[in-house]
Structure 1
Amino acid sequence: MEFIDVITERYSVRGYLDKEVEKEKLEYVLKAATIAPTGVNAQPFKVYVIDTKKHKDELSEIYGAKWFVEAPYVLCVVAVKNKAWTRPWDMKNIADIDATIVMDHMILAAADVGLGTCYIGAFKKYKAHEFLNLDENEEAVLFTPLGYGNAEPRDTPRKELDEFVVYVD
């Protein structure tokens, strides 16, 4: 698939088939995480691959939508804050930015091989940290189900370029 097709056709899938994801496709999606750019190439993240059938109850406590646990996997990108680059002029640790880029790469890779995903940022952080047994330097940033979609895309109107692009001369 052409890149423009991947980014145009990808949508937030809110329903999944009870169908296994092939190992090659899962590995393709995970490989995308390793090529995601991160500050000074520190790669300060972990990707948790969670078997939904084995952890349906725990995942449902983290995020309550029924479709969240329909896919065979849920992925979680965790930022490792003490390994991330920090801007020296304002001390902004960019671990959350790095983790978001990683998730974006995986989500686009999933779309490229016909798998559905949905960015989940509105989860119960304390439940996620408890379930994943994270330490004080780790932060769950985003989740996504990963599987074959069984739902149509919502109507998501997009802004025109002139509504958000600002050219600085």
Structure 2
Amino acid sequence: MNILELSQTRFSARKYTDEPVSSDDLNYILECVRMAPSAVNRQPWKFVVVRSKEARENLWRAYDREWFRTAPLYIVCMKNNNECWTRRYDDKPHGDIDVAIAVEHLCLAAAERGLGTCWVCNYDTNVMSELFPSDNYETVAIIPIGHIAEDCPRAEKKRKAMDEIVEEI
């Protein structure tokens, strides 16, 4: 499948089977994450694989939705605030951008392997700070990963027309 087909196929999966994600699939996905570009190649990130029952249940405290509980594993995507490159002209830090690039590599790699993902950013930040205490790292997103359930809802993929988002000068 090429990148356009992956982009057209991938959707926010919100229901998973209980089939575990294989180590081969997880390792492939994490290697794709590792290869993601970042500003000045700082790679200001950490990715925490949450697979054990106890750790998953703890994570549910930060985002307690029925569909979220169906995922067999999660990856907590974190940025290192001390390692982010900052643009000197306006002091804009690029850590969130760098992690977002890596997370989209994660989502597309999972889709290539036939797995579903969903960006979760609406979590309780206080709970996440409690679960992952750090002076340097901050959670950017939680990505559930799993085999998509047959009855998983799929919203119609609506996108703006090309002329609404592209300008040529």
* Identity rate, percent: 34
Which structure 2 residues correspond to residues 73-112 of structure 1 after superposition, within 5 A?
73-112=73-112
Which structure 2 residues correspond to residues 19-38 of structure 1 after superposition, within 5 A?
19-38=19-38
Question: So what's the TM-score if we normalise by structure 1?
Answer: 0.94
Match of 2:68 in 1: 68
Q: CA contact under 8 A between 1:20 and 1:147: conserved in structure 2? A: yes
SS of residue in 2 equivalent to 1:162: helix
Q: Please tell me the root mean square deviation across aligned C-alpha atoms, in Å.
A: 1.2
What whole-Å deviation, never above 9, does each CA across 1:37-95 have from its counterpart, x for those lacking one?
10110111000100152223322111121121211111111000111111111111111
What letter corresponds to residue 51 of structure 1 in structure 2?
Answer: R
- In 2: Cα distance, 1:39 partner to 1:161 partner: 27
Q: CA contact under 8 A between 2:50 and 2:56: conserved in structure 1? A: no
Which structure 2 residues correspond to residues 113-132 of structure 1 after superposition, within 5 A?
113-132=113-132
- In 2: Cα distance, 1:27 partner to 1:69 partner: 22
What letter corresponds to residue 138 of structure 2 in structure 1?
Answer: E
Deviation at 1:147, TM superposition (A): 0.6
Q: Bigger shift: 143-152 or 17-26?
A: 143-152
Runs of 4 or more off by more than 4 Å in structure 1?
Answer: none
Q: CA contact under 8 A between 1:79 and 1:138: conserved in structure 2? A: yes
What letter corresponds to residue 63 of structure 2 in structure 1?
Answer: Y
Deviation at 1:7, TM superposition (A): 0.8
Tell me, yes or no, if structure 1 residue 8 matches structure 2 residue 4: no
Q: How many residues align?
A: 167
- In 2: Cα distance, 1:48 partner to 1:103 partner: 12
